[in-house]
Structure 1
């Protein structure tokens, strides 16, 4: 209350008094921070490396942080004898080996030789994860570049990046899609534990969206159960501040048309030429030799031989160009690449293998977009589940109803949210739990994030009353401010109850939340009880037969 004005001169004095309490403004809930490696990190002449920087669109990301890396792959050959004599047990499930992002083999066959395609360049995937983020409803976000494409990725870079966020108040989610591309599984878990500790012990205002290391593999893979490894690796601390998703996803971000033989390492270019020689030149040379062995060739045979020799010369020139051309130097690059695509089925198979490997991504970038879309469309209290993923072809592992049982309700409580494919519906997010599934308080992601929003909003508004008199007038004003805010949340559907009294309560005052000693020590205590909405995760419909009425 303002003091009375000093009245020394006769006249009329106007005194204005505030009729309404201050208002609580809801904090933003959908502001992820992406930590990873970018082509560049520069705003004009200023470096943005290790500096959280806010962008609002993919165009801004490209302006400040650059574009995608050029993925490089090796083609290696291994002679295994005649194809018909190859042992059947060497192939799994009667098909090719699974396509994987690191150094796993995807094989193509040509006569007596198997050629394996493996990624040789470091799989920097932040750019593609940003595409997924914006194509799934993402908005404003922070980018924390910890290095460029010449950097050697390490756990220390990610940990240092997380620590830099202690000074940032706005981000509400930590997303690190490139983390699971590290070669050391132990390093991945060390960073994920650090992220959970950062969220739960230090800032208490954000959650971590985690990926499963080797999450493109099934749980019955010979290398081990990736889910059990993840559950063991992340530990047991601060689990309600994180959510994990499995499996990885096959996307449609990169088209085969955007790939070329430049994606094949220079060292493997010779192998590619040998493959094309055998596919394109060998049949022509064989026909030329056959015509040459004829004792009395006809005019038609001679004409055919000349045509074949012309084609042979064209192919040789083409393959010689493949060895030497560079896309940034030679203007003929695009034309020769298109010619190869039209002529060579095996070259198309190679590009398809490369395309599948590049498009296989961890899901955290897409999930950050889903969180943002649901927050803006329905509210943070709506569970980010039963939502389809855009630009996603399929999950890397096809999960069934029974496969998900242990993911969703394990004995340890470390729930992993499934990404599943449904006929006629596409690829859906089919889980809404934190990793603290045994906690009735913090089992659901939307409950944790709603409480973060309420807590941080009220905390920010309450700063206006620091050092105010700890008396009834202040208590009434503060209670009204909080009640008005929670009433608005209840009207939007964020709190459960048929009336505000059932949805929340606010208590403050001497003898109610404070003792005389609290007031002497300058402590004002406010107690807020809220009934946060929880998702209908399991719907049971009971059917009973009744007797005929007529």
Structure 2
């Protein structure tokens, strides 16, 4: 029996981004930064190591998501071992390729079940490639008629307090004009708690180069003997080496500067596009309230900060755009309530029919449910008995939706109308050609987006 058994192995890392401290001449206007000995340092990533999918999936499940189709388009690429140098620049990961994402999107043409298309990695593409991908997603969603696309805005991680509107304008210019009713967008990114201190250690700093790390936590001007000992064990492991988690715990105890570095790196790593979390919000809202309920005025589990706090005026410009009509849904902070989803619009913001996400998804739910149920009548005789059975089946389904609050009207007759038969929806030629045509009219519930309160002052009256 061994007197000193080796420590248990650390769990395998599913995602290992790399970060650097980059000296700045003055206090950075945007992004995460810290000061060490009076010098400003921006916390900047190696762009080749930044990916959003893994943490977005974790956010999806944390927010109530259920079944998910995850389309793999490849593994992680090699690190560049170089950081971004400009705090205002956003990471473009050359390992994330448009062609790979398009190939993954095309695979979904074979699947009818997914009701949402989400691609968090799209924000790591060059703007032109992101534009091509978003337009392709909208076209496919319009063709399939089964899903909506949830988009993120490039620049939503570190928005300029004044010039952030340029990021919104660039997004609106990039989505094209096709399939807008099948798309929706949320802004800005969200600061989360999805990654914990156990997910980041010294191997994620400076490309794993502890000599660069030592310059900050064991400088010649202020040597730290405990830190020197730990770094020595990392660089020259003894016969019975400590695990990385043990070395990490020792460094956190030995150096307050190191603890601060890890804290700032975690803040940066946890700033994520909101689409994954929103997919979870949609899923739990569907299960609890129905697809016809707007997925808004609700919190995001795991969201603790926002890179920009939008005001009512700023949010109004996102929600309604006179030029393009493309609505962008805001995620906002409210005193006493925290961070809330504060928008429920599609990109087709000028459309009276399709401006709301809940309306679009309710119609998709009804259309696909009816089509699926109607398959039972394929090859049945195209006569009055079959027409009556089809009408009864659809009416029964829509009555259930109405009772659950998905359709408006005081009675089922006010909520929907189903027509099928010769002389109403079909001609004699349709019968000869083998077509049974059914017309369904529904009154979908729309969210009360604007609450109008009217106040009048009544003059005092003499008694």
Q: Shared fold (TM-score greater than 0.5)?
A: yes
Q: Distance in 2 between matches of 1:466 and 1:325?
A: 71
Partner of residue 214 from structure 1, selected from 146, 155, 167:
155
Q: Distance in 1 between matches of 2:211 and 2:299?
A: 43
Counterpart position of 2:84 = none
Given the two structures, how large is their TM-score scaled by the length of structure 1? 0.74
RMSD: 2.4
Residue by residue over 1:272-307, the C-alpha shift from the partner in whole angstroms, topping out at 9 and shown as x without a partner, is 1122232xx6346xxxxxxxxxxxxxxxxxxxxxxx
Counterpart position of 1:379 = 290
> What are the ranges of 5 or more consecutive residues in structure 2 without an aligned counterpart?
1-10, 79-94
After TM superposition, give the deviation of residue 139 of structure 1 in Å.
0.9
Residue by residue over 1:502-521, the C-alpha shift from the partner in whole angstroms, topping out at 9 and shown as x without a partner, is 10001112221222222222
Counterpart position of 1:128 = 55
After TM superposition, give the deviation of residue 107 of structure 1 in Å.
4.7
* Structure 1 pair 421–351 and aligned structure 2 pair: CA distance change class (3 A): same
Q: Distance in 2 between matches of 1:542 and 1:266?
A: 61
Partner of residue 366 from structure 1, selected from 270, 273, 277:
277
After TM superposition, give the deviation of residue 525 of structure 1 in Å.
1.6
Output aligned runs, 1:67-146, within 5 Å.
68-77=14-23, 90-92=26-28, 97-99=30-32, 106-111=33-38, 113-120=39-46, 121-146=48-73
C-alpha contact 2:53 2:121 (8 A) present in aligned 1:
yes
> What are the ranges of 5 or more consecutive residues in structure 1 without an aligned counterpart?
1-62, 81-89, 100-105, 285-311
After TM superposition, give the deviation of residue 91 of structure 1 in Å.
2.6
C-alpha contact 2:408 2:444 (8 A) present in aligned 1:
yes
* Structure 1 pair 355–508 and aligned structure 2 pair: CA distance change class (3 A): same
Q: Does 1:469 align with 2:415?
A: no
Partner of residue 314 from structure 2, selected from 381, 403, 418:
403
Q: Distance in 1 between matches of 2:255 and 2:111?
A: 53
Residue by residue over 1:94-153, the C-alpha shift from the partner in whole angstroms, topping out at 9 and shown as x without a partner, is xxx413xxxxxx353325x55443212421221211111111111111111111123722
After TM superposition, give the deviation of residue 548 of structure 1 in Å.
4.8
Partner of residue 176 from structure 1, selected from 94, 99, 119:
119
Q: Distance in 2 between matches of 1:172 and 1:109?
A: 48
Output aligned runs, 1:176-195, within 5 Å.
176-182=119-125, 184-195=126-137
After TM superposition, give the deviation of residue 223 of structure 1 in Å.
8.3
* Structure 1 pair 168–233 and aligned structure 2 pair: CA distance change class (3 A): same
C-alpha contact 2:28 2:42 (8 A) present in aligned 1:
no
Q: Distance in 2 between matches of 1:446 and 1:75?
A: 44
Q: Distance in 1 between matches of 2:303 and 2:371?
A: 39
Partner of residue 394 from structure 1, selected from 286, 305, 325:
305
Given the two structures, how large is their TM-score scaled by the length of structure 2? 0.88
After TM superposition, give the deviation of residue 220 of structure 1 in Å.
5.0
Structure ranking higher on relative contact order (CA contacts 8 Å, 6+ apart):
1
Counterpart position of 1:260 = 201
Q: Distance in 2 between matches of 1:452 and 1:265?
A: 49
Output aligned runs, 1:59-458, within 5 Å.
68-77=14-23, 90-92=26-28, 97-99=30-32, 106-111=33-38, 113-120=39-46, 121-150=48-77, 152-182=95-125, 184-200=126-142, 202-218=143-159, 220=161, 225-266=166-207, 268-278=209-219, 282-283=221-222, 314-324=226-236, 330-331=241-242, 333-411=244-322, 412-458=324-370
Q: Distance in 1 between matches of 2:42 and 2:236?
A: 23
Q: Which has the larger radius of gyration?
A: 1
C-alpha contact 2:202 2:208 (8 A) present in aligned 1:
no
After TM superposition, give the deviation of residue 92 of structure 1 in Å.
4.8
Number of positions where the alignment pairs a residue of Structure 1 with one of Structure 2: 433
C-alpha contact 2:300 2:341 (8 A) present in aligned 1:
yes
Q: Distance in 2 between matches of 1:400 and 1:325?
A: 53
C-alpha contact 1:76 1:271 (8 A) present in aligned 2:
no
* Structure 1 pair 488–313 and aligned structure 2 pair: CA distance change class (3 A): closer
SS in 2 for 1:74: strand
Output aligned runs, 1:504-519, within 5 Å.
504-519=416-431
C-alpha contact 1:76 1:268 (8 A) present in aligned 2:
no
SS in 2 for 1:453: helix
* Structure 1 pair 515–273 and aligned structure 2 pair: CA distance change class (3 A): same
